[in-house]
Amino acid sequence: MAPHVLAVGEALVDVVRRPDGSVSEHPGGSLANVALTLGRLGRDARLATWLGRDERGDAVRSWLAGSRVTVTPGSDGAARTSVAQATLDGTGAATYEFDLEWRVPAGAGATAETLAVHTGSIAAVLEPGAADVHALVEAARATSTITYDPNARPVLMGEPADARVPVESLVRLADVVKVSDEDLEWLASGTAPLDVARSWVHDLGAALVVVTFGGEGATAVTAAGEVHVPSRPVTVVDTVGAGDSFMGALLDGLWTADLLGAERREALRTIDHATVESLLTRCVAVAAVTVSRAGANPPWSDELENA
């Protein structure tokens, strides 16, 4: 088996409702979007997910295969494919409602060739799968870098104080965390997002926490300090999948920098500011392309070179 990244979590269909009343369906799901971004950037990406053997599931599988993502065995055991209703406002921002079930496929997990395991979003909080995700991640630390994006869905996560328990539990296991300022403002209202990020590094042990600020760019926090990169000017069509494409680009950049794999954990902890700035610059470029077009549609590597 070749070196690869394993994403563990939801793949589903986004039913997008636009302000003009039009409705369209796009395959999506946070973890699927991360894997898709990696595949389009030329990486070997595997996705352990939970799809139905139905028309929507077929559409998701075809979409993933078209971007060179391998769906792991057993990922087709759901009674039906999950759906997220995404309602866009006049700025292109999305709010979500969900009809879904999540389980980890039997046998899913890291191998010696798994450079990184990425999880987060719905998969990390929705039972019965969330407990299995936590166990899989805990075991994978022996071989793999652990990356995590809370990608908060308040409608599924209950009260912020309750949601912080599983979120912080996974931050403690993670080497790299990507999180939006909106997620942090919901999880820890009244605390500045970067103060939360600093506590995740200095108190909970993450090596790198990246906070995205939408049109204001992104800031990375490490034990050695902080690096900020501004966003790229772009006409926003919608923000569906933008954070996930940023996360996929972050994994791609860490792979290029030879900072993935358990044996590279100490090197990741001492990452220098020039490397962090280079990583974030590529991430904001990928996200800029994604928001410039409809749905979760991250760029291919050749598009990024020409962006």
Domains in the chain (CATH in brackets) are 4-306 (3.40.1190.20)
Q: What does 79-143 look like in DSSP terms, one character per residue?
A: SS--EEEEEE-TTS-EEEEEE----PPTT----TTEEEEEEEGGGGTSTTHHHHHHHHHHHHTTT
Helix (H) or strand (E) holding 69: strand 69-71
Confidence at 250, pLDDT banded by 50, 70, 90: very high
Alpha carbons 150 and 78: distance in angstroms, whole number: 23
Burial 159-169 (b: 16+ CB within 10 A, else e): eeeebbebbee
Summarize the confidence of residues 114-120 as an average pLDDT: 98
Residues 148 and 124: beta-carbon distance below 8 Å: yes
Q: Quick check: pTM over 0.85?
A: yes
Tracing tokens 């898709």 back to the chain, one arrives at 36
pLDDT score, position 97: 84
Summarize the confidence of residues 185-213 as an average pLDDT: 97
Residue 239 has pLDDT above 80, yes or no: no
Residue 185 has pLDDT above 80, yes or no: yes
- Percent above pLDDT 90 for the chain: 79
Summarize the confidence of residues 105-111 as an average pLDDT: 96
Residue 307 has pLDDT above 60, yes or no: no
Alpha carbons 300 and 70: distance in angstroms, whole number: 17
Contacts of 161 (CB under 8 A, 6+ apart): none
* Closest among 213, 209, 221, 220 to 170, alpha carbons compared: 209
pLDDT score, position 255: 98
- Percent above pLDDT 70 for the chain: 99
Summarize the confidence of residues 209-229 as an average pLDDT: 96
pLDDT score, position 126: 92
Helix (H) or strand (E) holding 283: helix 273-291
- Residue 220 tokens read as 């990375």
Residue 90 has pLDDT above 90, yes or no: no
Q: Give counts: helices (H), strands (E), the chain.
A: 11, 13
Summarize the confidence of residues 257-282 as an average pLDDT: 97
Q: Is 281 exposed, middle or buried (0-12, 13-18, 19+ CB in 10 A)?
A: middle
Residues 177 and 147: beta-carbon distance below 8 Å: yes
Give the chain's mean pLDDT: 94
